[in-house]
Chains A and B, each alone.
Chain A
């Protein structure tokens, strides 16, 4: 999958402003970014649902603008919303999509059984989807994308709104299909999701590529974990800053100091004993992972703007 200088405007506001992507076959590319960064727009263009205003893109070797029907036979799209039909049973849902992908009745039924088995839904095959749990629906939705063993799969925020257990299940399925050779373009707002699944991460911000690299490269850019100390009085602040070192940042409320750390637990011990030695009794001391907001602060130099 290849994209060069993708451009798209909505009502004269640029949604994508010259985005380049290169995803080698059989790998996972994670598109990370806040709402409104252009992730979904990029996916919709590559899945032939939106026309380009500029640039060019190739998916599975075909040009998305000139060879859309060919692209459609190679890709599957799994959008933010579930397209599972509640009134139909799990199996009927899959057979319907099989038929729409032009399998014969018998083939569609056989393929549906296979997928139900693979996605652990055999027991629920003849139950109507409305009685499925959130995770089961998501799995059924994913299964329906695999009917044709697509060479490219677009996953648009596949786990938004799922609980941790169900997220894990979805991740497992995605890893399985990638192992079978499918190329995946994944959009997500969650850093850990991109971390789990992606070989390569592209951070989008207001329609532009803000950063890209492997998850490890991006993390080291961010400086990894942070230690955070909450003080009781403003007088203790300078002491804590001294202990945490020159990179320490004071939060806007003036009681929270944090700094990047590399050696997690050792750093925690070091800071705790240093503070005790200086007679500072902190309100709270904790280690935490960088939040998505910090990723954006670090990469783009401004806070993530949340647009609906």
Chain B
């Protein structure tokens, strides 16, 4: 097969696999609800219910502070979705069928990434609209705002690889339990509360949490409050928001490929 047809079929295969996932998403009302309603409800709970009791370190409106954190949490939760889908496909023998077929093996994972990125983009869009309604906004121009969203999707792309690797590693039952770990991981960060207000050790954890870097960078790009901090991580959030996902990709891409190949061990 020539390399042109290889590329063409890789693209076709990716799209076919992505389309399958997107159809799933559209046809299962429960998942649409879970994916879209949860962030909206959280914004309402944290923004409007707890919001009045919350302080932003360094001053500023809590809803303005909260939205980038919510974007971040939604993106981080995406790893659970990827993990679940990958482990279900493996468990049901779909992965085996893919592997025993002539389809491009790149297509399997590329399709996964496309579907997950489309899914997450929609979630970000809905959240952003919801935020605009209750008083969040971006203040440094549309271009900077787009860069911020791009950073979130860059993190999401990196997490696709984490999800694929873990999904090939565990059974669906265990995949379900991943939420137990994801939830605290998205909270021990600057997502909902400024790390400056946390006890020392937790503050360090939160400041160095990769999610915090993306969220802090986004706050800066949106012109939202809560930016800054004394630590190196907090001061170089933009750099880290690019680097952390790159590190994830560098580790989990080869691990996933290796794991996928080793399915035939």
Binding site for B on A (CB under 8 A): 44, 47-51, 69, 72-73, 75-77, 79-83, 85, 87-88, 92, 96-97, 99-102, 128
Add 16 more A-B contacts to A51-B264, A85-B20, A87-B23 (CB < 8 A): A49-B96, A73-B102, A76-B100, A79-B96, A79-B97, A81-B91, A85-B94, A88-B23, A96-B19, A96-B20, A97-B101, A99-B13, A100-B16, A100-B107, A102-B103, A128-B27
Chain A residues lying within 8 Å of B17, measured Cβ to Cβ, are 100
Chain A residues lying within 8 Å of B27, measured Cβ to Cβ, are 87, 128
Chain B residues lying within 8 Å of A81, measured Cβ to Cβ, are 91-93
In angstroms, Cα B182 to Cα A37, docked, is: 41
**CB-CB nearest in chain A for B24:** A87
Asked whether any CB of chain A lies closer than 8 Å to the CB of B263, the reply is yes
In angstroms, Cα B77 to Cα A264, docked, is: 67
In angstroms, Cα B96 to Cα A48, docked, is: 10
**CB-CB nearest in chain B for A71:** B100
The answer to whether A83 and B263 touch across the interface, beta carbons within 8 angstroms, is no
Q: How many A-B residue pairs have CB under 8 A?
A: 70
**CB-CB nearest in chain A for B26:** A87
Contact of B93 among A69, A76, A83, A92 (CB under 8 A): A83
Q: Return B126 CB to nearest CB of chain A, in Å.
A: 22
The answer to whether A100 and B101 touch across the interface, beta carbons within 8 angstroms, is yes
Asked whether any CB of chain A lies closer than 8 Å to the CB of B98, the reply is yes
In angstroms, Cα B93 to Cα A47, docked, is: 13
Asked whether any CB of chain A lies closer than 8 Å to the CB of B259, the reply is no
Chain A residues lying within 8 Å of B93, measured Cβ to Cβ, are 79-83
Decide yes or no: A49 and B94 within 8 Å by CB, A73-B102, A96-B16 being known contacts: no
Chain A residues lying within 8 Å of B16, measured Cβ to Cβ, are 96, 99-100
Contact of A101 among B24, B96, B102, B264 (CB under 8 A): B102
Contact of B100 among A51, A72, A85, A88 (CB under 8 A): A72
Asked whether any CB of chain A lies closer than 8 Å to the CB of B230, the reply is no
Contact of A100 among B92, B103, B264, B265 (CB under 8 A): B103
Q: Return A104 CB to nearest CB of chain B, in Å.
A: 9
7 A-B contacts, Cβ less than 8 Å apart? A48-B100, A51-B264, A73-B102, A77-B100, A92-B23, A100-B16, A100-B98
Chain A residues lying within 8 Å of B173, measured Cβ to Cβ, are none
Q: Return A90 CB to nearest CB of chain B, in Å.
A: 14
Asked whether any CB of chain A lies closer than 8 Å to the CB of B57, the reply is no
Asked whether any CB of chain A lies closer than 8 Å to the CB of B253, the reply is no
In angstroms, Cα B91 to Cα A83, docked, is: 10
Decide yes or no: A49 and B23 within 8 Å by CB, A99-B16, A100-B16, A102-B12 being known contacts: no
**CB-CB nearest in chain B for A108:** B16
Asked whether any CB of chain A lies closer than 8 Å to the CB of B203, the reply is no
Q: Return A226 CB to nearest CB of chain B, in Å.
A: 38
**CB-CB nearest in chain A for B103:** A100
Contact string, B1-14, partner A, CB cutoff 8 A, digits 1/0?
Answer: 00000000100110
Asked whether any CB of chain A lies closer than 8 Å to the CB of B99, the reply is yes
The answer to whether B97 and A77 touch across the interface, beta carbons within 8 angstroms, is yes
Q: Return B88 CB to nearest CB of chain A, in Å.
A: 11
In angstroms, Cα B80 to Cα A226, docked, is: 57
Q: Return B143 CB to nearest CB of chain A, in Å.
A: 38
Contact of A49 among B12, B28, B107, B264 (CB under 8 A): B264
In angstroms, Cα B265 to Cα A100, docked, is: 24
Chain B residues lying within 8 Å of A51, measured Cβ to Cβ, are 264-265
The answer to whether A83 and B102 touch across the interface, beta carbons within 8 angstroms, is no
Contact string, B56-99, partner A, CB cutoff 8 A, digits 1/0?
Answer: 00000000000000000000000000000000000111101111
Decide yes or no: A49 and B100 within 8 Å by CB, A80-B93, A102-B12 being known contacts: yes
In angstroms, Cα B25 to Cα A299, docked, is: 52
In angstroms, Cα B265 to Cα A262, docked, is: 48
Q: Return A32 CB to nearest CB of chain B, in Å.
A: 22
Chain A residues lying within 8 Å of B20, measured Cβ to Cβ, are 85, 88, 96
Q: Return A68 CB to nearest CB of chain B, in Å.
A: 9
The answer to whether A50 and B9 touch across the interface, beta carbons within 8 angstroms, is no
Chain B residues lying within 8 Å of A101, measured Cβ to Cβ, are 101-103
In angstroms, Cα B41 to Cα A91, docked, is: 37
